[in-house]
Chains A and B, each alone.
Chain A
Amino acid sequence: MRIALFVTCLADTMFPQAAIATVRLLERLGHEVAFPQGQTCCGQMHVNTGYQRDAVPLVRRHVDVFDTYDVIVAPSGSCVGSVRHQHAMVARRAGDERLAGRAESVARRTYELSELLVDVLGVTDVGAYYPHRVTYHPTCHSSRMLRVGDRPRRLLSEVRGLTLVELPAADQCCGFGGTFAVKNAETSTAMLADKMRHVLATGADVCAASDASCLMHIGGGLSRLRTGVGVVHLAEILASTEQAATSRAEILGSTEQAATSPAANRPAARP
């Protein structure tokens, strides 16, 4: 299948390893990945901060760039949520009914990674190997806006070598919330503190999620406390293979690891 990758601005700039892993994974499963040129950002930051007018050209750009593809995937529940629940609304508020219709059409063809794998490609065992203790944070937008349900866990449960440990109060928000983390920094920090406490209580090596934004937040907190526990995107786990466990370069190419990713700190630490 030919699948267009919507990389999302945050993954592109700060978490390229999640997007690269998405490409590696889909190609390993025998699919062709296209990277439509001209894509930038879905505009969620603008919409969620109240700048809906500024988001209109971004919605138009997104729709123009992806309109010709049948299947679109993003390694982000949050950005897919924005495409699905906000793009048409932004267009309508701006009085552009035609754009709203096109946005709805693109949204119908856009999937979060676990949705694409389970629902469209019909696969839960992706042949991954990841010999670590992992706890999974089911990000708010993936679980409440997209209702991805247990799809990520079904995928993780098929990964060889992986021990999945239950995260207490998993459905509680980590406190990121986009500009909330800046505008209400102290409340955000209080929420993060509880999330980190729960992550550390699991004794996991890494905390996984399907949103680069939440991972950046949780990872930033864990890094500040020098816990040694890292964060990793679901795609990175699913892209890992036995070979890659001994050679990180296999997954990540020549890309340097972001500071908060555990793979950088412990490549093949536990064979």
Chain B
Amino acid sequence: MTRRTFLGMPATAPPGVGHLRGAESFPAAARRGLADPQLRRNLRHATTTIRAKSGGVIAELPDWEQLRAAGAAIKADTLARLPELLEQLEARVTEAGGVVHWAADAVEANRIVTDLVRATGVDRVIKVKSMATQEIGLNEALVAAGITPVETDLAELIVQLGGDRPSHILVPAIHRNRAEIREIFLREMPGVDPTLTDDPTALAAAARRFLRQTFLSTPVAVSGGNFAVAETGTLAVVESEGNGRMCLTLPQTLITVLGVEKVVPTWRDLEVFLQLLPRASTGERMNPYTSMWTGVTPGDGPQAFHLVLLDNGRSAVLADEVGRQALRCIRCSACLNVCPVYERAGGHAYGSVYPGPIGAVLSPQLTGIEDNASLPYASTLCGACYDACPVKINIPELLVHLRAEAVESHRRPTAESIAMAAAAYAMDHPRLYAAGQRAARLSRFAGRRGRGLPPPLNGWTGSRDLPEPPAQTFRDWWADR
């Protein structure tokens, strides 16, 4: 599966291509989101709504916890024998008339897809919403090759027309309200009615008119996949709008880019995820459209099917015994919707197509910790994400694990590492520790209630008072009793 290796270790996603790295650290990028009250309102409204809806339909199921456990177990089993399952998938897809391609990373995957599109002679493709193709920056690669990709998921279309980046896995335009969407449509959508209002039905109708025309005139589609069943070589896409189904059935050629972790062993396993995903994700009992296809069917649907199996750092994640649980992720975005940090900072702060808690653990693993070292710290470890995850990814545990990696990746001591080592030394020597407590007590004479501490501690005192250290520590009180 992994073709390219470096010193025997699986390769991580290459820099310079795709969208897994931000230009800034999380705290710097978060500043913009925090300073935008409209964004904060949009985000709070949307996440609160989805959270309530999801909570309601999850509460209907008496066996939700067992389903979560089953989902986690199936994924763990799949990851434990991933090479074998992928080879089985390849064999079944090939037997069914599809062509399987293996892509070690984003560069290779983009080249494969671009070459396949070029071979058809078209200069435009329709796209089904896909995180994998965003991850590898496929749209940019296609544009560079003179091919126009048209996103057909409504929210993705809004983001694409707005020249914007998605800020949520499930609701990419979560940061936009309907007035902003109307403006984007009026400005960028070909053939749009100039009297368009910001009524949601009118906006949807405008997108529908534009998309219908595009569906009927574009013979090549690119999709991702939610699941791939190894035993039959069947691909599955779940969606809410039906636009994906149009792309999957109308064109002559269908190219699917699939992260290698998306494979499941059998059809019976799908049953578990088709219950978990919609309830955790959109708060629906069942997703409105479930499309499945196996290779090609003569005279019906696409007559050429290509499956691109994408690694792009996944083998590196798999190689980490603690970290590999991030590959269980079914991209439901439940962790984003409950995360207090995501809600305030917004999705763009994570610098990756995978925002929120799962992004904070997945992105640094795919790229290598050095390229996303601030992300594992973008959490208070409150644990809401772990409780919400339908496949029980222990995100807080992973965050702590990756923080240790971030620290160990430093070749030279930092101010923080020196302070931490000194604190640990003092805490391991009770007399020094007590002396430190006395020093803290003396410091209360030094300043006005702990205000105006030097950096980095001014991060605290900018908005909060530190309590004055009390005159007597507990251990002094105890000794005096």
Contact = CB atoms under 8 A, between A and B. Distances in A.
A57 interface: yes
B464 A221 contact: yes
Interface stretch (A32-40, A107-115, A126-134): A32-40
A135 interface: no
A189 B462 contact: yes
A168 interface: no
Given A9-B427, A191-B344, A224-B464, A144 B30 contact: no
Nearest to A253: B477
B381 A177 contact: yes
A184 B467 contact: no
Interface stretch (B242-250, B303-311, B416-424): B416-424
B354 to A, nearest CB: 18
Interface of A: 7, 9, 11-17, 19-20, 23, 35, 37-41, 43, 45-55, 57-58, 61, 85-86, 93, 140-141, 144-145, 171-173, 175-192, 216-217, 219-221, 223-224, 253-261
Contact of B423 (A45, A48, A173, A183): A45
A186 B464 contact: no
Interface of B is mostly: helix
A179 B477 CA distance: 28
B369 to A, nearest CB: 10
Contacts of B382: 140, 144, 173, 177
Contact of B463 (A49, A192, A261): A192
A61 B430 CA distance: 10
A14 B460 contact: no
27 contacts: A12-B473, A13-B437, A13-B440, A16-B470, A43-B424, A45-B423, A48-B403, A53-B408, A93-B404, A140-B380, A144-B383, A173-B340, A173-B380, A177-B381, A180-B377, A184-B26, A184-B341, A184-B377, A190-B344, A191-B341, A191-B380, A220-B460, A220-B467, A224-B463, A224-B465, A255-B472, A258-B469
Nearest to A145: B383
Contacts of A192: 463-464
Interface of A is mostly: helix
Interface of B: 26-27, 30-31, 34, 40, 340-341, 344-345, 376-384, 386-387, 397, 400, 403-408, 416-417, 420-421, 423-424, 427-428, 430, 433, 437, 440, 449, 456-457, 459-460, 462-475, 477-478, 480-481
Contact of B380 (A180, A223, A254): A180
A171 B34 CA distance: 21
Contacts of B420: 45-46, 49, 51, 54
B27 A183 contact: yes
A185 B428 contact: no
A172 B381 CA distance: 12
